[in-house]
Amino acid sequence: MHLWISIPFCTMYVVAMVGNCGLLYLIRYEDSLHRSMYYFLAMLSLTDLVMCSSTIPKTLCIFWFHLKEISFDECLVQKFFIHTFTGMESGVLMLMALDRYVAICYPLRYSTILTNSVITNIGFATFLRAVLLIIPLVFLTKRLPFCRGNIIHHTYCDQLSVAKLSCGNIKANIIYGLMAAFLIGGFDILCITISYTMILRAVVSLSSADAQQKAFSTRTAHICAIVFSYSPAFFCFFFNRFGSHKIPPSCHIIVANIYLLLPPTMNPIVYGVKTKQIRDCVVRIFSVSKDTKSQHMKGI
């Protein structure tokens, strides 16, 4: 069944690579997209590219060529990239919520609050937070003695899947992993909730129904990105802690892969469909290409 299972994985990975690279290209070369909202979207696209590329190529090698081996150091590197960039994904979604809060609640000061230097600094701080919180987790795993075999029941080097192979005490790994998850995910969800509460209050206070509809419509893509990112993450988190004896391991492995593949696949599609400026840029590029081709044919 590996060959058949690999088809949706490969398809989603190709869509994720093309979609996110396309978004990065548009944001880089289209002057109309040189705004804070799209800079945060570029951060999200770059994070998604690294996140899915950390696991899916190796997963496809397992499905297609049965190349299941990975060295211990490579496993630690993969684990570092996976957890760092899932933490970065959560942080960027939080920054995008704050960006919309400033845009809706302080529209006249929007450009002066979120300057390019501020965006660069908070983006780097979000990345640094993820790196500093995940590095200790890698060293906690490296210090463990391993004597229970070398088969990881997963398609990638997950935190608990690797730690459970140890014959030592993994209590510190579990406690620190929970702490890192709450410091990253818990803090980001709290900030997103507060931002949307303030946004909702500001939108409801608008007198015009059209203005309310427009304000709500600008948040649809971001809400979809939050759902795609956090829903499988919550499932994996609660499965690892509470449901490992009640849910088949194959279900956990599938959802864990969806957790790393669904957001990179869906984010460029959702933002491309729901964001008018991005749609207009895509239409303009294809129109120019079509006109150029027509003129070339006429010349011939």
Chain segment 35-71, per-residue pLDDT in tens = 999 999 999 999 999 999 999 999 999 999 989 999 9
User: What pLDDT does residue 98 have?
Assistant: 94
Within the chain, where are the H helices? Answer: 2-29, 36-53, 56-65, 72-105, 110-113, 116-142, 159-163, 171-181, 187-204, 209-217, 220-238, 249-274, 276-299
Check pLDDT > 60 for residue 297: no
Q: CB within 8 A of 5, min separation 6: which ones?
A: 63
User: What pLDDT does residue 28 have?
Assistant: 92
Quote the pTM value: 0.91
Q: Which domains does the chain have, with CATH numbers?
A: 1-286 (1.20.1070.10)
Check pLDDT > 60 for residue 83: yes
Query: How much is the mean pLDDT over the chain?
Result: 88
User: What pLDDT does residue 295 have?
Assistant: 61
pLDDT band, very low/low/confident/very high, at 6 (cuts 50, 70, 90): very high
Residue whose C-alpha is closest to residue 91's, from 188, 234, 181: 188
User: What pLDDT does residue 107 have?
Assistant: 85
Residue whose C-alpha is closest to residue 79's, from 188, 2, 155, 166: 155
User: What pLDDT does residue 218 have?
Assistant: 66
Cα 83 from Cα 29, distance rounded (Å): 31
User: What pLDDT does residue 221 have?
Assistant: 84
274-283 pLDDT tens trace? 888 888 888 8
User: What pLDDT does residue 99 have?
Assistant: 93
Most confident of 103-112, 129-138, 285-294: 129-138
Q: Are 265 and 51 in contact (CB under 8 A)?
A: no
Check pLDDT > 70 for residue 300: no
User: What pLDDT does residue 212 have?
Assistant: 67
95-117 pLDDT tens trace? 999 998 998 888 889 989 999 99
Give whole-number Cα distances, 251 to 13, 78, 147, 190, 280, in Å. Answer: 20, 22, 27, 29, 40
User: What pLDDT does residue 217 have?
Assistant: 67
Residue 149 vs residue 197, higher pLDDT: 197
Mean pLDDT, to the nearest integer, of 258-271? 92
Cα 269 from Cα 254, distance rounded (Å): 22
Q: Are 12 and 261 in contact (CB under 8 A)?
A: yes
151-179 pLDDT tens trace? 888 899 988 889 888 988 999 998 999 99
* 186 sits in which H/E element: none
pLDDT band, very low/low/confident/very high, at 13 (cuts 50, 70, 90): very high
